[in-house]
């Protein structure tokens, strides 16, 4: 893993205003879920097409595997808005597979991230989330407690102090729209923010930095790894690991030491009954449910929220402006 908003027509404008780009969240470096997405079957969360006459009952929703079980995912949409989709298609985590599936009509709605530049580029529509189904999604480091020396924490907290949502969105335009190398973009961001100076704050630390398999998370992992290396740490990276089902076990067993995360999503992964929505409440709840060997450091102001996104054609056909409209009777 950001209070999440479902993306519809106004998304393009909102993203443009904040220079938004990818998330959740989609572009180049999508690995394991990409192959899974291409061959995944389309099934509803209950294993059968949804009943009822609402608009959603005629639509296929696509997104990452965990969205089927997250409290703010398929079940949250049903509980908060009474929205039940015809079926759910497992794709990648806000990556190119999801974007392509939405463009090509393989799915009718998708879970994407609000900083995804493909939303504006494809004139996708972000459905508003008036009932706040989606919680805060602030970017923050999750790290093995044994590797969190004072110098490591100082280095990573300095990054969090500089990250904000418009800045992150602008970085994703470079990575996704302009197809720049994420590590090169990371190094330039560190230089622009005077965080690339060499030093010894993290000297003696050895860390394996991982990332999920979507471009924004890869970029953030590169920022963490490059900054730590500049401060004397010995770093290696494991990028494009996949979804939380794949990398959280690595954090628990110590094969991964550090990951960029999103406070709301990781909270809901670890505690499926969590109800916190504000950044402060989400962070407090997250700190209580982390595995004993892990801690989170300072959370940034940068958020990349989940959003339910549809094409302009679908929005026009069903008069969709918010998630609530998906529960309206289908004409």
Residues of the chain with CATH 3.10.105.10: 139-296
Tell me the average pLDDT across 101-123. Answer: 93
pLDDT score at 191: 98
Q: Is the pLDDT of residue 245 over 60?
A: yes
Confidence of residue 314 (pLDDT cuts 50, 70, 90): very high
* CATH level 3 topology of 7-135+305-327: D-Maltodextrin-Binding Protein; domain 2 (3.40.190)
- pLDDT class of 53 with cuts at 50, 70, 90: low
CB 118 within 8 A of CB 178: no
44 Cα distance to chain centroid: 22
**More confident: 34 or 103:** 103
- The predicted pLDDT at position 36 comes to 39
Residue 117 pLDDT > 80, yes or no? yes
Residue 66 CA, distance from chain mean position:
12
- Mean of pLDDT over the chain: 85
Asked if the model's pLDDT at residue 270 lies above 70, the reply is yes
3-state helix, strand, coil in the chain (%, to 5): 45, 15, 40
Instruction: Find how far residue 157's CA is from the centre of its chain.
Output: 20
User: 36-75 burial, b if ≥16 CB within 10 A, otherwise e?
Assistant: bbeebebebbeeeebeeebbbbbbbbbbbbbbbebbbbbe
Q: How does residue 305 score in pLDDT terms, banded at 50, 70 and 90?
A: confident
Say which CATH superfamily domain 139-296 falls into. Answer: Dipeptide-binding Protein; Domain 3 (3.10.105.10)
For residues 218-237, give the mean pLDDT: 98
Average pLDDT of span 232-241: 98
The answer, yes or no, to whether residue 255 has pLDDT greater than 60, is: yes
Mean pLDDT of 85-103: 93
Confidence check: pLDDT of 318 > 90: yes
Spatial distance between the Cα atoms of 81 and 134, rounded to a whole number of angstroms: 12
Beta strand 87-90 pairing with 60-63: parallel
Q: Which of 112-126, 144-158, 290-304 has the least mean pLDDT?
A: 112-126
CA torsion 273→115→113→132, rounded to 10°?
A: 40
pLDDT tens per residue across span 183-209: 999 999 999 999 999 999 999 999 999
- For residue range 292-303, list pLDDT tens digits in order: 999 999 999 998
pLDDT at 42 over 90: no
**Residue pointed to by tokens 């602008």:** 170
Residue 165 contacts by C-beta under 8 Å, 6 or more apart in sequence? Answer: 18, 115, 301, 302, 303, 304
Confidence band for 82, pLDDT divided at 50, 70 and 90: very high
Residue 174 has pLDDT above 90, yes or no: yes
User: Where in the chain are all domains bearing CATH 3.40.190.100?
Assistant: 7-135+305-327
């Amino acid at each position: 893993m950001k209070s999440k908003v479902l993306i519809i027509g106004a998304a393009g404008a909102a993203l443009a205003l904040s220079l938004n780009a990818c998330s959740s969240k989609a572009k180049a470096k999508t690995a394991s879920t990409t192959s899974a997405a291409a061959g995944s079957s389309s099934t509803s969360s209950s294993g059968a097409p949804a009943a009822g006459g609402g608009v959603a009952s005629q639509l296929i929703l696509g997104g990452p595997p965990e969205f089927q079980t997250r409290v703010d995912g398929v079940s949250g949409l049903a509980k908060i808005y009474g929205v039940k989709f015809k079926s759910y298609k497992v794709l990648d985590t806000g990556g190119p597979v999801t974007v392509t599936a939405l463009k090509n009509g393989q799915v009718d709605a998708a879970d994407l991230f609000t900083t995804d530049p493909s939303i504006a580029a494809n004139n996708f529509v972000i459905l508003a989330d008036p009932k706040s189904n989606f919680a805060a999604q602030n970017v923050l480091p999750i790290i093995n407690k044994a590797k969190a020396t004072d110098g490591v924490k100082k280095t990573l907290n300095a990054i969090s102090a500089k990250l904000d949502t418009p800045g992150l969105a602008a970085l994703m335009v470079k990575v996704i729209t302009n197809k720049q190398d994420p590590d090169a973009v990371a190094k330039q961001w560190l230089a622009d923010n005077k965080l690339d100076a060499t030093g010894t704050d993290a000297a003696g630390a050895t860390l394996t930095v991982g990332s999920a398999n979507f471009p924004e998370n890869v970029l953030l992992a590169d920022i963490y790894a490059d900054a730590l290396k500049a401060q004397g740490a010995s770093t290696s990276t494991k990028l494009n690991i996949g979804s939380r089902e794949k990398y959280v076990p690595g954090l628990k067993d110590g094969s991964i030491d550090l990951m960029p995360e999103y406070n709301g999503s990781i909270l809901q992964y670890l505690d499926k009954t969590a109800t916190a929505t504000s950044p402060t409440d989400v962070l407090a709840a997250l700190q209580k449910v982390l595995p004993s060997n892990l801690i989170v450091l300072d959370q940034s102001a940068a958020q990349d929220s989940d959003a339910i996104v549809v094409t302009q054609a679908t929005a026009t056909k069903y008069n969709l402006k918010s998630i609530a409209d998906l529960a309206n009777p289908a004409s």
